[in-house]
Structure 1
Amino acid sequence: MGRLPRLVATDLDGTLLRADKTVSPRTVEAISRISAEGVGVVLVTGRPIRWLGHVYEQLGQPLPTVCANGAVVYDPVTDEVLRADPLAPELLAEVVRRLRAEVPDVAFAVEVTDSREFRHETAYPLSWDRGYPDIRMLDTPAALHSVPAVKLLARAGAQDPDVFVKVVAGALAGLAEATHSSYSGLVEISAAGVTKAAGLAWYCTRHGFDAAEVVAFGDMPNDVPMLTWVGRAVAVANAHPAVLEIADDVTAGNEEDGVAAYLEALLDPGDGESGLVDPPA
């Protein structure tokens, strides 16, 4: 598979992490080995900052992270937000207005304070955020767009996410970005131009990496912009069809440590175990 990249960028859920949200010892070792070779590693995720601590603990190192689908670039060593690109209150208000008109039963939540805090409407169902601090139910509808938000989340009952995201994107064309990263019918909305690719590109410019020098791993539609931007795009075998369609390589699934297998093959090219489901083009 040629020489080592200068930077490895990887999604978390469904890609680097197993279904139980753990990082396998094999994956930790592979990341440690490639870092020791001088290759940078950056996490690129839809997750907010508040969901990153247990990942850093498992990895044994606080890796730089592009959060909230590209809206936040975070340095966990200094606990500093290096860049944030939120939806302004007036833009949030217009997005909400359009979506309420298009999807009458839609319920919203927002990631605020650079994704350290979460605010949700009464009808918005909580799952992962149960029990977390800094989670608050909104008192009034207007409170939803009273402050800037790095991400707006929309749900409308049981939905096919691929269909629902098209409805949302159509209603918001030219106004904001809409994507999804799960099969639960959740749509994630960011400011126009804010994607994982944009966040990663900003990080690369800051640190002197070219897109051609980056290998990236992903599994869901919110990873597609990043995967089409980098020099080598790798999908895990369990990836969404939209990701499998544009990937340069397909490695083993997240439950089989596909990212680790691919990195091991880069590090030990003569061992004969490529880690690939599909050979490189």
Structure 2
Amino acid sequence: MQIRAICSDIDGTLLDGNREISPTTRKVFASLPQDFPVILASSRMPAAITHLQRDLKRENNPIISYNGGFVVDPSQTQASTLSSTCITADLCRRIVQMADGMDIHISLYSENNWYAPRMDKWTEKEETATKVRASLLDNHRVVDSWKKNGGGAHKVMCMGDAESIELLYRNLEQNFLASLHLYRSKDTYIEIAPASISKATGLSLILERYGIDMSEVMAFGDNFNDIALLESVGLGIAVGNARPEVKAVAADCTADSKADGVAQAIEKYLL
């Protein structure tokens, strides 16, 4: 099998225990040819991914952000945005209204903009994890602006205590399952994206420009939103800390993310 590109999830997969790319992993990626595409795929916004690209010295490589909702390739001389799929303003308003009266934080994301309703523990936690600062603006004012000027959310993030999040999740599932993808990375989080996209759909768009087939890609992941990606490539690899459902579809498993599992797999198959 010829591997011509790598696609990797970030949180829980590429990052170490300090939520950084370890020196070992950086060194292994530096051993790959500079024209070998390294594609980072995440539920994060682009600005929360580009600093990791700099760590890997892959600034001009493509990015799959918002789980495939916003795909960019800065290496292209033409328009760098390959795909943009949003949750409509009307649907965003219904989500926000559904959480009204509940002690739930809702953040709204569009391209490189992150709108948080207030500075609270959830905003502070996300700023620390992603190294991006939020714009503080009431949810309804953001949606009003999108409704007036056009636009929508590439991602809606709901955060709160486990009981409240479970209640909201059940309500969202009952009302919007056909149009929205509801992903729970933790019992205190719901990440919401359009149902039509995934990391796999984003990767397919990128590879068309490079003349690379999905069968020629090595991909890494750890969580439910990585399953379609690992299933669709030639060599899907789960890190050791991956959920059992992810390991079940992977062609191989490597060490935990905190033990440089991605680097170990690259050394095994490519170096």
TM range (shorter): 0.7 to 0.9
Matched, 1:248 2:233: no
Q: 1:200–1:163: structure 2 CA closer, same or farther, 3 Å change rule?
A: farther
Name the amino acid aligned to 1:229: S
Match of 1:92 in 2: 92
Matched, 1:152 2:156: yes
The answer to whether the Cα contact below 8 Å between 2:240 and 2:257 also exists between their aligned partners in 1 is yes
Name the amino acid aligned to 2:212: F
Match of 2:46 in 1: 49
Match of 1:219 in 2: 222
The answer to whether the Cα contact below 8 Å between 1:35 and 1:41 also exists between their aligned partners in 2 is no
Correspondences of 1:1-281 after superposition (within 5 Å):
3-35=1-33, 39-62=36-59, 63-76=61-74, 80-97=80-97, 99-100=98-99, 104-112=102-110, 114=111, 116-122=112-118, 125-126=122-123, 127-129=125-127, 135-139=134-138, 141-144=140-143, 146-147=145-146, 148-158=152-162, 168-181=172-185, 183=186, 185-268=188-271
The answer to whether the Cα contact below 8 Å between 1:92 and 1:145 also exists between their aligned partners in 2 is no
Helix, strand or coil: the match of 2:44?
coil
Of 13-22 and 72-81, more deviation after overlay is shown by 72-81
The answer to whether the Cα contact below 8 Å between 2:3 and 2:217 also exists between their aligned partners in 1 is yes
The answer to whether the Cα contact below 8 Å between 2:70 and 2:81 also exists between their aligned partners in 1 is yes
Across the aligned residues of Structure 1 and Structure 2, the Cα RMSD in angstroms comes to 3.0
C-alpha separation in 2, matches of 1:205 and 1:80: 14
Q: 1:225–1:169: structure 2 CA closer, same or farther, 3 Å change rule?
A: farther
Q: 1:175–1:105: structure 2 CA closer, same or farther, 3 Å change rule?
A: farther
Cα offset, 1:216, TM superposition: 0.7
C-alpha separation in 2, matches of 1:53 and 1:197: 20
Of 87-96 and 211-220, more deviation after overlay is shown by 87-96
Cα offset, 1:140, TM superposition: 5.8
The answer to whether the Cα contact below 8 Å between 1:5 and 1:39 also exists between their aligned partners in 2 is no
The answer to whether the Cα contact below 8 Å between 1:121 and 1:141 also exists between their aligned partners in 2 is no
Q: 1:145–1:18: structure 2 CA closer, same or farther, 3 Å change rule?
A: farther
Name the amino acid aligned to 1:177: H
Percent of residue pairs identical: 27
Helix, strand or coil: the match of 1:52?
helix
Helix, strand or coil: the match of 2:126?
coil
Cα offset, 1:86, TM superposition: 1.4
Aligned length: 260
Q: 1:134–1:20: structure 2 CA closer, same or farther, 3 Å change rule?
A: closer
Name the amino acid aligned to 2:114: F
The answer to whether the Cα contact below 8 Å between 2:103 and 2:164 also exists between their aligned partners in 1 is no
Structure 2 residues not aligned, in runs of 5+? 147-151
Name the amino acid aligned to 1:34: L
C-alpha separation in 1, matches of 2:221 and 2:201: 15
Of 141-150 and 60-69, more deviation after overlay is shown by 141-150
The answer to whether the Cα contact below 8 Å between 2:102 and 2:164 also exists between their aligned partners in 1 is no
The answer to whether the Cα contact below 8 Å between 1:73 and 1:81 also exists between their aligned partners in 2 is yes
The answer to whether the Cα contact below 8 Å between 2:96 and 2:139 also exists between their aligned partners in 1 is no
Q: 1:171–1:228: structure 2 CA closer, same or farther, 3 Å change rule?
A: farther
C-alpha separation in 1, matches of 2:155 and 2:171: 18
Q: 1:121–1:194: structure 2 CA closer, same or farther, 3 Å change rule?
A: same
Q: 1:164–1:10: structure 2 CA closer, same or farther, 3 Å change rule?
A: farther
Q: 1:223–1:28: structure 2 CA closer, same or farther, 3 Å change rule?
A: same
Q: 1:136–1:53: structure 2 CA closer, same or farther, 3 Å change rule?
A: same
Match of 2:149 in 1: none
Match of 1:279 in 2: none
Cα offset, 1:188, TM superposition: 0.9
Cα offset, 1:141, TM superposition: 2.7
The answer to whether the Cα contact below 8 Å between 1:164 and 1:185 also exists between their aligned partners in 2 is no
Name the amino acid aligned to 2:116: H
Helix, strand or coil: the match of 2:13?
helix
C-alpha separation in 2, matches of 1:185 and 1:152: 14
